[in-house]
Amino acid sequence: MTLRKTLIVWLILTAAHLSAQDRLRPITVNLIAEPRTVQILPGDSTSVWSYTGSSEGGGRQSLGFLPNSHLGPTISAMQGQQIKIKLTNQLDQPTVTHWHGLDVPADMDGHPAYAFPTGESYSYSFTISNRAGTYWYHPHPDMATADQVQMGLAGFFIVHDRNELALNLPSGAADLPLCIQDRTFDSANQFVFNPSMMHGFFGSLVCVNGQPNYVQNVGSRVHRLRLLNGSTSRIYKLAFSDGTPMVIIGNDGGLLATPNTKPYLMLSPGERAEVWADFRGKPLNSEIILQSLSFSGAGMNQGAALDVMTFKIVQQVTDNRSLPANLSSIPAYNLWEAVNASNPKSYPITQANGHYVINGASFSMEYVANNEVARCGTLEVISVSNPQGMMHIAHPIHFHGRQFQILDRTVVPSSVANWNTVKDGYNDSGWKDTFMLMPGETVRILVRHGKNPGLFNYHCHNLVHEDMGMMRNFRLNP
């Protein structure tokens, strides 16, 4: 066979194989939320709650498993692929699952109204419209989200698309989903969850994919790190111990337009970032620590310097890849295009009845205020402000079902000194579904509302705050 014929046959076979078989065949996943016992620390085993799962169809790699982890299986899918997920509740309390960052119909989104009891199942079914990115899933029942996530219920949901695959970014063992969570263990190796109502929960050990003192063995090549802050309350200021800057290629909604190099990366609960970690030239057996640096003014217990995990170079390999100059296409929204450009929706963070609230009142299952209604498909500007003052702390704010753009950040003069300890790590370009808000700071976002009508949540992703009522409904009308 001539080279030309060989190439044509190869192209036909590859296209048929990827598009028809692996890429767009519907995926069926069975997930069970259940108690398990796992070995995390030496000695006694630890009782956790886990998503366990199995899959049918959708190619070989629709479900992956993080090594030695009690976190949920990693669901992988292509943009445009249909997925059915049957979730069975074997916990001793109601649960419901939210597909964080994905644009799905209201009854598929994990609104607390859809929580279902022990022994029952809920069938999720949706087509993945999101672009390639690092999304995740976790429980979302009213007043019990923090408990359930803290017990171990969380997993990655990774979406691929053709543009992203064509970039040939590091894959396989060089594509590393890393979920950062802090935990406290008692003397019998059981989880301790003792949050403060105002500040949240701060564990004494940082875990990655469920394990403390996490060491990731790597070759001396480029890795794609998919960092997820799955912690209940703790904010991280991530940096490499050898001073290598953070080369950020993605955030909540997938790849940025172009790589963004920062001295450190702020990651508040719920946020994700993808980092181009270049370990080429590192000597064999050398170690690079992913640290969280100190910062100030975000609240009691926030901002302590600590080590998150270690990368250990265990193999010398040749890697000739180069960082793409252009990663993806992101059309910029403009303020003047917003239907409410001259009258932004304004959601201040305040306190009521001894806890934090957003837009003036605590969560109530069905209630929607006048300024929490919009029409599907419209572009709006929304302003979220965190007044400076006594007991004002940083909050991560998440809007369900949509990816938006950060229009701007402003900060009052008295908060600038603290703000300066975090501002260079905000990863604000591209698509976001969660953003961090320091005391004294106001963030304006431009959001194109989705096509799915119904009730969606927006809330603080400090899960203790969310459970205390720092959550609201937003209604999309057709």
Q: Which residues bind Cu ion (CB under 5 A)?
A: 395, 460, 462, 465, 470
The residue (of 81 and 268) whose beta carbon lies closer to Cu ion is 268
Q: Which is nearer to Cu ion, 183 or 465 (CB)?
A: 465
Tell me the residue nearest to Cu ion as measured from the CB.
460
Task: In angstroms, give the least distance from the CB of 295 to Cu ion.
Answer: 17
- The nearest distance, CB 470 to Cu ion, in angstroms, is 5
Instruction: Give the C-alpha separation, 418 to 272, whole Å.
Output: 23
The residues near 19 (Cβ < 8 Å, ≥ 6 apart) are: none
**Closest CB 445 distance from Cu ion, rounded Å:** 17
Nearer Cβ to Cu ion, position 345 or 461? Answer: 461
Helices (H), 306-460: 416-419
Nearest approach in angstroms of CB 460 to Cu ion is 3
From CA 222, how far away is CA 279, in angstroms rounded?
6
Residue partners of 259: CB distance under 8 A and separation at least 6 = 247, 248, 249, 276, 323, 324, 325, 327
Query: Which of 421, 448, 418 shows the shortest CA–CA distance to 432?
Result: 448
Q: Which is nearer to Cu ion, 94 or 195 (CB)?
A: 195
Q: Which is nearer to Cu ion, 131 or 395 (CB)?
A: 395
Closest approach, Cβ 370 to Cu ion, in A, equals 23
Q: Which is nearer to Cu ion, 355 or 409 (CB)?
A: 355
* Shortest Å, Cβ 451 to Cu ion: 29
Whose CA is closest to 267, among 242, 234, 221, 296? Answer: 234
**Cα separation, 367 vs 396, whole angstroms:** 22
Tell me how far apart the terminal alpha carbons of the chain are, to the nearest angstrom: 57
Cα 291 off chain centre by = 19
| Shortest Å distance, C-beta 468 to Cu ion | 9
Nearer to Cu ion, 83 or 460 (CB): 460
Minimum CB–partner distance for residue 397 and Cu ion (Å): 8
CA distance 473 to 342: 23
In this structure, what token pair is assigned to residue 154?
A: 């969380």
- In the numeric block, which tokens belong to residue 404? 């938006």
Q: In angstroms, give the least distance from the CB of 281 to Cu ion.
A: 42
Query: What is the rounded distance in angstroms from the CA atom of residue 335 to the CA atom of residue 341?
Result: 6
Q: What is the DSSP pairing of strand 272-278 with strand 246-251?
A: antiparallel
Q: One-letter amino acid identity for 413?
A: P
**Around Cβ 310, how many Cβ atoms within 10 Å?**
17
Residue with smaller CB distance to Cu ion, 169 or 464:
464
Please tell me the distance from the alpha carbon of residue 102 to that of residue 138, in angstroms, as a whole number: 12
